[in-house]
Amino acid sequence: MKAFIFDLDGVIVSTDRYHYLAWKQTADGEGIYFDEKINDRLRGVSRMASLEIILERAKRQYSEEEKQALACKKNDLYRDLLRNLTPKDRLEGVTETLAALREKGYLLAIGSSSKNTPFILEKIGYGDYFDAVSDGNNITRGKPDPEVFLKAAEMLRLSPESCYVVEDAEAGIDAANAGGFFSVGVGPASRYEKTKKPLASFSLLREL
């Protein structure tokens, strides 16, 4: 194994609360019921796919133009909240573990469906830290499609079989497995039956 490809949200940093608040305000503005249980279904999926889940409870059909407008509204709200991020928002064990993996000679990459990935990385002090960043800006298909991870491996000039993918979401684990990667689950994904290597904490990556 030569590299680790990390999902961003929920693995390196948690912006779940910001996503929830932005989606909640967007849904409330349309009179659509939205709660944290529904929000859990959005974990690891793209913005437009998340919107489709929210619109399942809408009382009318939305045109593609209206959907795009709602997605943009949510993203504007979300980016405003992201301005509060600092390096202190890196999740527990991330800073030390990434440094240890790099010392061992592993390449490190990000594979995230979010188009806000560069902005988030910059805010938490990782703007130019990773060897490759594949995100929502260079893919056409979100997770569970493996495209984002396959492009990350391509940037690293490695085969999927030589890369670990670290995920906290079931959709991300499915994407990693579909692409031929070795899936590692932390957080909720550590309890997913399709995860190849469940870990109780991020820091345990050092023992792989």
Tokens 């130019």 sit on residue: 128
How many helices and strands, by DSSP H and E, does the chain display? 8, 6
Q: Provide the annotated active-site residues.
A: 7, 9
> What is the rounded distance in angstroms from the CA atom of residue 66 to the CA atom of residue 60?
12
> What is the rounded distance in angstroms from the CA atom of residue 46 to the CA atom of residue 141?
8
> What is the rounded distance in angstroms from the CA atom of residue 121 to the CA atom of residue 30?
31
Tokens 């993203």 sit on residue: 75
Q: Which helix (H) or strand (E) holds 110?
A: strand 107-111
Structure-block tokens of residue 152? 């990350």
Structure-block tokens of residue 61? 């059909």
